Chain A
Amino acid sequence: MNNKLKNKLYDKSFYVVGLFATLFGLIVLLTLLIDITIDGFSRLGWQFLTNYPSRKPEAAGVLSAWVGTVWVAALTVVVAFPLGVSAATYLEEYSKKNWLREFIEINISNLSAVPSIIYGLLGLQLFVRGLNMDRSVIAGAMTLAILVLPLIIISTREAIRAIPTTIREASYALGATKWQTIRNQILPAAMPTILTGTILAISRAIGEASPLITIGALTYVAFLPTSPISLEFPYISLKGFFDPFSVLPIQIFNWVSRPQKGFWIDAAAGIMVLLIIVFFMNGIATYLRYRYEKRIRW
């Protein structure tokens, strides 16, 4: 009888313990958000977004950092998206179940868990030194593209796998070739989910600091990369690719490592800007997933 009571007690109390353990992370997240808002809200404003970093904490801003983040993120997508989707398409639609596929699969799964700072070491030696890109936007973007590639491949494969075989069979029955089926049926149908995965991967890239610190991205930048569009001939310029840059996480790291309290306020305000970008992207990704999950019924 005593034993029975004890077992019942354990069982009931696990509802509470389990719920608390699950909510624990969220409680911490809430504390973190409140703490950062209290610390940084006073600094946040138009000036903060349009000023360069400065020796005076009150005058410092994140202009070069957020512009650098936009540059690097945009270039990262351009490199990683086509490569990732092609790789996933091959693995799902073409490759046979043999040792080669298994080898590539193990490899991708392992790459997705390699510490991000290791990618920084690769980028430093390969892009910065080897290809002489120096500490430029393009070197940073290539490094991050390699970092997020496994994530894009994994999520794209899941998206393609979710498309039912009947779609393929119907397309073949109408005389379409394999590539026509992939291009006209499979990829368009899988695209919302592929985009969700890609947005999440880029949002991860935006938050990365360590690989870019390792390749030598600057922590104090008082200029912007050359604009890609100009009013003079030839109107388009790629010079910005080769300019030095900083990004938001590095700027935040720089401020938080200073001893002066004034810069900690800047760091908190910088974090608010970074979190708004990251949460916004995650929001879009979640919305896309939710919307298409609801609409499509195979």
Chain B
Amino acid sequence: MHRNLQKIKEKAIEKALFLSAFFSVFITLGIVGVLIFETFEFFKEVSVFDFLTDTQWTPLFAEKHFGIMTLFAGTLLTTVIAMSVSLPVGLISAIYLSEYASKKIRIAIKPALEILAAVPTVVYGYFALLFVTPLLQKVIPELSGFNSLSSGIVMGIMIIPIISSLSEDALHSVPMSLREGSMALGSTKFQTSIKVILPAALSGVAASFILGISRAIGETMIVAIAAGQQPRLTLNPLVPVETITAYIVQVSLGDTPAGTLEYKTIFAAGMSLFVVTFGLNMVSYFLKKRFREVYE
């Protein structure tokens, strides 16, 4: 009898634990559901064609335009600037840590890089607006107070640890025999790293880049503070722009009643953001998985 009770209890616990694991699926369903529902409502009032082709974004003005391209341009600009900082620095640092640095240096530096990733983004926003922008203005006098250049640079610095740590993991797991083979043929460490190890770890390294891009696209506080809130279709890094995320913050700060078109725009903007980052995350996941299958 006691044993039977025990069995029932075991089963019940297993079911409860399964439910909590499956709860994560409900979160995704919740996100997708909420976004699709409100976006659908939004497209009852605005045509999909206008949404994708209009070159202006002015939902808060009297004359309303809903060209998401404008916000995407802001996002694209900050993301490209961020990646042109974090990609080379992160990759060089990963190669250094994996192939060159002694174990002592690696053990000392890894926790320090973790601190960099722990700094809240609102702090980076302050730094971009009140330190980096004034500093850059000394070199580029025509740089405006809000711009995509300094927010992009600071965002890039924030993303360095993501790229360097994930790429280092990938490089480090390339089998030793490949290094030894290359060295035996007389290559230097540098040649081995660039021509043998890097290509061998490419899918893992690419996964880290894509995750970095996805992070840059979704980053909010830095751009909301330092890039300005003027939606504008431009590739000029010196003027204020508005990203998708910054727009959501701008509307949320005002008291927009539920059900209005303004309210629905943040969900349409959020949907666009989710679709893009979701696609990138999936690509990154499968690249990483493929890499693991080859070497582990």
A binds B: yes
Using CB atoms and an 8 Å cutoff, list the residues of chain A in contact with chain B: 7-8, 10-11, 14-15, 17-19, 21-26, 28-29, 31-32, 35-36, 39, 82-83, 86-91, 94-95, 103-104, 106-111, 113-122, 124-126, 129, 146, 149-150, 153, 177-179, 200, 203-204, 206-210, 213-216, 219, 249, 252-253, 256-257, 264, 267-268, 271, 274-275, 278-279, 282, 286
Q: A90-B20, A109-B285, A121-B266 are in contact. Are A7 and B190 (CB under 8 A)?
A: yes
Which of B20, B116, B123 contacts A36, CB < 8 Å? Answer: B123
Q: A35-B131, A114-B278 are in contact. Are A286 and B21 (CB under 8 A)?
A: no
Nearest CB of B to A293, in Å: 11
- Residue of A103, A104, A117 with most chain B CB atoms under a 10 A cut-off: A117
Q: When the two chains form their complex, are residues B274 and A104 in contact, meaning their CB atoms are under 8 A apart?
A: no
Chain B residue contacts of A129, Cβ below 8 A: 258
Interface residues of B in 175-195 (CB under 8 A from A): 188-191, 193
Name the CB-closest residue of B to A130.
Answer: B34
In angstroms, Cα B89 to Cα A219, docked, is 37
Name the CB-closest residue of A to B9.
Answer: A179
For this complex, 10 residue pairs linking A to B, each with C-beta atoms less than 8 Å apart, are: A15-B100, A25-B161, A86-B16, A113-B281, A114-B278, A178-B10, A207-B118, A213-B252, A249-B120, A252-B122
- Indicate whether B221 reaches chain A with its CB closer than 8 angstroms: yes
Which of B120, B189, B220 contacts A278, CB < 8 Å? Answer: B120
Q: A25-B157, A94-B14 are in contact. Are A115 and B220 (CB under 8 A)?
A: yes
- Indicate whether B65 reaches chain A with its CB closer than 8 angstroms: no
- Indicate whether B51 reaches chain A with its CB closer than 8 angstroms: no
Q: When the two chains form their complex, are residues B253 and A213 in contact, meaning their CB atoms are under 8 A apart?
A: yes
16 extra interface residue pairs, beta carbon distance < 8 Å, beyond A118-B277, A253-B125: A10-B188, A14-B96, A14-B190, A18-B96, A29-B119, A31-B131, A32-B131, A95-B18, A111-B24, A113-B211, A129-B258, A149-B24, A253-B221, A253-B225, A271-B126, A275-B120
Interface string of B10-24 (1 = CB under 8 A from A): 100110111011111
Q: When the two chains form their complex, are residues A253 and B224 in contact, meaning their CB atoms are under 8 A apart?
A: yes
Q: When the two chains form their complex, are residues B188 and A121 in contact, meaning their CB atoms are under 8 A apart?
A: no
Which one of B25-33, B53-61, B230-238 is at the A interface? B25-33
- Indicate whether B114 reaches chain A with its CB closer than 8 angstroms: yes
Which of A14, A94, A107, A179 contacts B24, CB < 8 Å? Answer: A107
Name the CB-closest residue of A to B274.
Answer: A118
Interface string of B84-119 (1 = CB under 8 A from A): 000011101101110011000000010111111011
Chain A residue contacts of B93, Cβ below 8 A: 18, 21-22, 24-25
- Indicate whether B160 reaches chain A with its CB closer than 8 angstroms: yes
- Indicate whether B6 reaches chain A with its CB closer than 8 angstroms: yes
Chain B residue contacts of A36, Cβ below 8 A: 123, 126-127
In angstroms, Cα B282 to Cα A213, docked, is 28
Chain B residue contacts of A11, Cβ below 8 A: 188-191
Q: When the two chains form their complex, are residues A115 and B219 in contact, meaning their CB atoms are under 8 A apart?
A: yes
In angstroms, Cα B5 to Cα A179, docked, is 13
Chain B residue contacts of A82, Cβ below 8 A: 20
- Indicate whether B215 reaches chain A with its CB closer than 8 angstroms: yes
Q: When the two chains form their complex, are residues B157 and A279 in contact, meaning their CB atoms are under 8 A apart?
A: no
Q: When the two chains form their complex, are residues B219 and A122 in contact, meaning their CB atoms are under 8 A apart?
A: no
Chain B residue contacts of A286, Cβ below 8 A: 111, 114
In angstroms, Cα B294 to Cα A34, docked, is 45
In angstroms, Cα B190 to Cα A11, docked, is 5
Q: Which 3 A-B pairs have the closest CB atoms?
A: A115-B218, A18-B96, A207-B120
Which of B18, B101, B122, B253 contacts A219, CB < 8 Å? Answer: B253
- Indicate whether B149 reaches chain A with its CB closer than 8 angstroms: no
Which of B123, B266, B274, B277 contacts A274, CB < 8 Å? Answer: B123
In angstroms, Cα B112 to Cα A62, docked, is 28
Nearest CB of B to A133, in Å: 14
- Indicate whether B240 reaches chain A with its CB closer than 8 angstroms: no
Chain A residue contacts of B261, Cβ below 8 A: none
Chain A residue contacts of B281, Cβ below 8 A: 109-110, 113-114
